[in-house]
Amino acid sequence: MIEIQNLYYKDILKNITLKIEDNLIILGENGAGKSTLAKMLCGLIPNNFVYFQNKPLKIIKNRAKNINYIPATLIVYDENITVTEYLQSAFYTSHIDFNAIRKIMHQLFLKEQFLSTLSSGQKQLLQIALAILQDTKTTIFDEPTANLDPQNSKKVFDILQNNFQQKIVITHDLNLAYNLGYQILYLDNGEVRFTGTFKDFIKRDFYDGYVKITPYGVVTTL
């Protein structure tokens, strides 16, 4: 369980108090504070507001084993390493499970090649693969389908539906949010305006009538 108590951060996040016990989707317009909140939840921005399993996050050792953040863009310091070499970093001990690496590469159609040759979509899939191999208690995914075509988006969707860990997903993809069925948290100008189910969220009409649920999924009307 993650708990936030009276969180204020500069002019970006304001007066946030909540408990996150299940899988969660974070929605909001650009600049609403979604990624900043995510970085505070995992300690990338040090703070005194976040508690993980009833302990202040800042005192937890090896935080990456408990809560991890997968950014929207792959950041590596050496693109001359291979996919397998990159995925080996998921293991914190000298024992590297190469069978698990091969399995997730096969599942996500990742081939052994240098990181410098990967497309943006392949880099996104590589980060998803790393998150699965790390097997942390909670993983925050920042726009996990942003650079993906429909086929690869479906692969990520299937992974996010598995119960391999608690998942917090930041996204603008309303169809992803609807179909995953997670609880919704909606940020507006740094404040929490809604928490609850997606259907109740749509009823609140934060999108001024432009978004509707149909038998075909979520439709945006312009």
pLDDT computed for residue 210 by the predictor: 77
Burial 106-127, CB ≥16 within 10 A → b, else e: eebebeeeebeebeebbbbbbb
Mean pLDDT of 128-155: 87
**Helix pair 98-107, 120-134: axis angle to 10 deg:** 140
pLDDT computed for residue 222 by the predictor: 60
pLDDT computed for residue 221 by the predictor: 65
What's the domain range around 53?
2-220
**Cβ(17)–Cβ(23) under 8 Å?**
no
Highest mean pLDDT among 18-27, 50-59, 63-72, 87-96: 18-27
Strand-pair category, 166-170 with 24-28: parallel
CATH number at residue 66: 3.40.50.300
Reply yes or no on whether the pLDDT at 76 is more than 80: no
Length of the chain: 222
pLDDT digits (tens, 9 = 90+) for 145-198: 887 888 888 888 888 888 678 999 999 989 899 999 999 999 999 999 999 999
3-state secondary structure the chain: CEEEEEEEECCCEEEEEEEECCCEEEEECCCCCHHHHHHHHCCCCCCCCEEECCEEHHHCCCHHHCEEEECCCCCCCCCCCEHHHHHHHHCCCCCCCHHHHHHHHHHCCCCCCEHHHCCHHHHHHHHHHHHHHHCCCEEEEECCCCCCCHHHHHHHHHHHHCCCCEEEEECCCHHHHHHHCCEEEEEECCEEEEEECHHHHHHCCCCCCCEEEECCEEEECC
pLDDT digits (tens, 9 = 90+) for 21-58: 999 999 999 999 999 999 999 999 999 999 998 888 88
- Angle ∠(173,169,3) on CA atoms, nearest 5: 140
- Kindly report the pTM of this predicted structure: 0.87
Half-sphere exposure of 218 (CA within 13 A, CB side): 19
Would you give the distance in Å from CA 88 to the centre of its chain? 21
Q: Which residues are within 8 A (CB) of 10 and not within 5 positions of it... i.e. 6 or more apart?
A: none
The count of structural domains within the chain is 1
Longest Cα pair distance anywhere in the chain, in angstroms? 54
Neighbours of 24 (CB within 10 A): 22
Mean pLDDT over each residue of the chain, to the nearest integer: 88
